[in-house]
């Protein structure tokens, strides 16, 4: 080995060591923000519904994929492993979403060659402290795993192109299969990612050969075809990857080969959710909905994305061009679809973080001396501080603030009348979130049943038609009737109703009851009735 090669090897090891230290710190921060007090936030309505399917799987071994209203099966089978370890706890319920969030930061190690030290540091830090990525990593929903599997496809495919190793092709196939087995919006990702890669290669080839100036599109397409042929896997490798993809999907959608109707349901779901997505189905928002959230809660990523756009077009490196096309493509696609919920933004935050990291690295490399580079690092570090503060505020202080009062540029946004700042349900991650008041209701029930001889066997009647996520919190009670209506007479010692049912309900109660009021979520007030023990019965 020559002296120059020895020096280069030594420098590479030093860079890897620095990158490893940076990534370990970012992963540690990500783990803390996702696991610390993971049971703090009451379960959302959707978490309650998802937990119902999980408890059926855990208690009775029953799960059948239903394409009409619910997403893919991976969420439940991974969570089942956690329940086997920790039992029916909030930690077990939210363990895998939190883990996927942490792993999304850790997997960036495989992109260090293209991101560089500064790029890896910035991308990892932004993903670790992003208010949105943290918030939805602490929910038992599909989105965080969906984001990780998407990133798994990108990382594996990029590594395969660089190394031609089948291991990465297999990992890409597994990631793609898990993505499709997680949520129907995988179809969107399956369109955006290849188009982003094609755009990057086309732009790169056209700029290299200066063909765009002469509008020689046919020459560009010829060059593209030749390059695709050079990286395209052989037929046997493609078949192997396809078999892996199909097998993983069959395993999950058939409920481990016990429900073949679920496999047909996987195809039906695409058409069902296309209709739901185009109609809005109760979640219809304007084109600029996600841009409003980005400005209000993810300003460093929004600014970084704009900066990354300029840098990617300026530097014209294929990796940067791909990140740009991915970011623009995914934001534009989800913005065009009428159906919008805040958790879908997870698919946008990840590429924006990578694009920002790429821009930070390219600027770092262009600075001429050490002092300017150190200054740039300080600027980047300072820019992360408000994001970390906002992440803590949104996730540990105002996690059920349905007015969504947290965010950047609050005064300016309100003064300009921007909807993200003036409409509480429009510009934030807290979306009809269950109020912490529900936990007081649960404590009241636990206190009441502890004083009754029947204990956990106490009959509880739920007359309110809106009660999710109560089934999770009342999971240890064996006699809970979720009727959603009022019968002729009610003799159960504990009754839960909506405030609008109060007058009619009190006419039907048999005995002396004490009532208490609790807020489930905005616009839904619950009334808890607990029968009081008479003096004779207490003696």
**pLDDT (0 to 100) of residue 228:** 79
In order, the DSSP letters of 338-372 are SB--GGGGHHHHHHHHHHHHHHHHHHHHH--SHHH
φ, ψ at 497 (rounded to 5°): -135, 170
What pLDDT band is residue 210 in, cutting at 50, 70 and 90?
Answer: low
202 closest CA partner among 189, 216, 190, 187: 216
Nearest one of 298, 332, 343 to 97, comparing CA atoms: 343
Question: What tens digit of pLDDT does each residue of 84-106 get?
Answer: 999 999 999 999 999 999 999 99
Q: How far apart are CA 303 and CA 356, in angstroms?
A: 8
What does the mean pLDDT of the chain come to? 91
> At a CB cut-off of 8 Å and minimum separation 6, what does 83 contact?
54, 58, 92, 93
CB 463 within 8 A of CB 482: no
User: Taking phi first (over 0 means left), then psi (-120 to 50 degrees means alpha), and beta for anything else, what does residue 156 get?
Assistant: alpha
In this prediction, residues 10-32 reach a mean pLDDT of: 85
| Strand-strand pairing, 494-498 and 480-482 | unpaired
How does DSSP classify residue 490? Answer: B
Q: Is pLDDT of 441 > 90?
A: yes
Cα–Cα dist 341/337, whole Å: 11
Query: Residue 264: its pLDDT value, please?
Result: 92
Q: In what order do the strands lie in the sheet with 480-482?
A: 480-482, 460-462, 494-498, 524-531, 513-521
pTM: 0.93
Q: Residue 128, class by beta-carbon neighbours within 10 Å (0-12 exposed, 13-18 middle, 19+ buried)?
A: buried
pLDDT-derived band at 535, boundaries 50, 70, 90: very low
Percent of all residues in the chain with a pLDDT value above 70, rounded to a whole number: 94
Q: What are 123-152's pLDDT values in tens digits?
A: 999 999 999 999 999 999 999 999 999 999
Looking at residue 280, its pLDDT comes to 64
Cα 12 from Cα 18, distance rounded (Å): 10
Q: Which residues contact 362 (CB under 8 A, 6 or more apart)?
A: 119, 311, 315, 317, 320
Q: What are phi and psi of 250, to 5 degrees?
A: -60, -40
Other CB atoms within 10 A of residue 77 CB: 18
Tokens of 68: 């009409």
Instruction: Give pLDDT, residue 39.
Output: 95
b/e code 398-414 from CB counts within 10 Å (16+ = b): bbbbbebebbbeeeebe
Range with the poorest average pLDDT among 61-75, 85-99, 390-404: 61-75
Q: Tell me: the pLDDT tens digits for 512-531?
A: 899 999 999 999 999 999 99
The mean per-residue pLDDT over the stretch 13-29 comes to 87
What pLDDT, on the 0 to 100 scale, is given for residue 9? 61
Token digits of residue 267? 């195809």
Closest by CA to 533, choosing from 463, 439, 440, 450, is: 450
**Residue 234: half-sphere exposure toward Cβ, Cα within 13 Å:** 5
Query: What is the token pair recorded at 134?
Result: 């943290």
Arithmetic mean of pLDDT, 316-329: 96
């Amino acid at each position: 080995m020559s002296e120059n090669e020895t020096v280069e090897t030594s420098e590479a090891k030093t860079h890897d060591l620095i990158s490893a230290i940076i990534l370990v710190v970012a992963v540690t921060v990500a783990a803390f923000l996702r696991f610390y007090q993971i049971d703090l936030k009451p379960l959302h309505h959707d978490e309650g519904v998802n937990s119902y399917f999980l408890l059926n799987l855990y208690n009775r071994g029953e799960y059948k994929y239903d394409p009409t209203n619910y997403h893919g099966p991976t969420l439940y089978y991974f969570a089942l492993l956690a329940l086997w370890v920790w039992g029916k706890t909030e930690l077990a319920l939210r363990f895998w979403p939190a883990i996927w969030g942490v792993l999304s930061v850790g997997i960036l190690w495989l992109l260090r060659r293209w991101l560089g030290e500064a790029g890896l540091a910035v991308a990892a830090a932004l993903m670790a402290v992003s208010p949105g990525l943290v918030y939805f990593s602490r929910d038992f929903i599909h989105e965080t795993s969906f984001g990780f599997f998407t990133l798994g496809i990108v990382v594996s495919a990029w590594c395969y192109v660089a190394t031609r190793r089948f291991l990465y092709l297999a990992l890409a196939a597994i990631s793609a299969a898990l993505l499709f087995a997680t949520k129907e919006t995988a179809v969107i990702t399956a369109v955006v990612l290849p188009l982003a890669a094609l755009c990057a290669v086309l732009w790169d080839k056209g700029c290299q050969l200066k063909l765009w100036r002469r509008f020689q599109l046919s020459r560009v397409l010829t060059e593209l075809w030749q390059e695709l042929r050079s990286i395209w896997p052989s037929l046997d490798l493609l078949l192997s990857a396809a078999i892996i993809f199909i097998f993983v999907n069959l395993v999950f959608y058939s409920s481990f080969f016990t429900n073949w109707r679920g496999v047909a349901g996987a195809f039906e779901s695409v058409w069902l959710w296309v209709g739901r997505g185009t109609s809005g189905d109760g979640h219809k928002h304007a084109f600029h909905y996600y841009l409003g959230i980005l400005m209000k809660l993810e300003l460093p990523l929004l600014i970084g994305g704009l900066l990354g756009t300029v840098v990617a077009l300026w530097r014209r490196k294929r990796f940067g061009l791909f990140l740009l096309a991915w970011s623009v493509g995914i934001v534009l696609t989800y913005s065009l679809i009428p159906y919008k919920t805040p958790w879908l933004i997870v698919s946008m935050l990840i590429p924006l973080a990578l694009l920002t990291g790429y821009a930070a690295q390219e600027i770092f490399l262009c600075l001429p001396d050490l002092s300017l580079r150190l200054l740039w690092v300080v600027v980047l570090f300072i820019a992360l501080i408000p994001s970390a503060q906002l992440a803590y505020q949104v996730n540990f202080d105002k996690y059920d603030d349905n007015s969504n009062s947290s965010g950047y540029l609050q005064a300016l946004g309100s003064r300009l009348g921007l909807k993200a700042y003036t409409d509480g349900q429009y510009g934030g991650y807290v979306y009809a979130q269950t109020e912490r008041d529900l936990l007081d209701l649960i404590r009241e029930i636990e206190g009441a049943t502890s004083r009754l001889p029947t204990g956990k066997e106490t009959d509880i009647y739920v007359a309110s038609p809106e009660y999710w996520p109560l089934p999770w919190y009342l999971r240890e009670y064996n006699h809970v009737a979720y009727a959603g209506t009022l019968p002729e007479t009610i003799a159960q010692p504990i009754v839960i109703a909506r405030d609008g049912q109060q007058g009619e309900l009190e006419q039907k109660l048999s005995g002396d009851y004490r009532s208490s009021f609790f807020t489930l979520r905005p616009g839904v007030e619950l009334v808890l009735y607990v029968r009081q023990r008479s003096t004779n019965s207490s003696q």
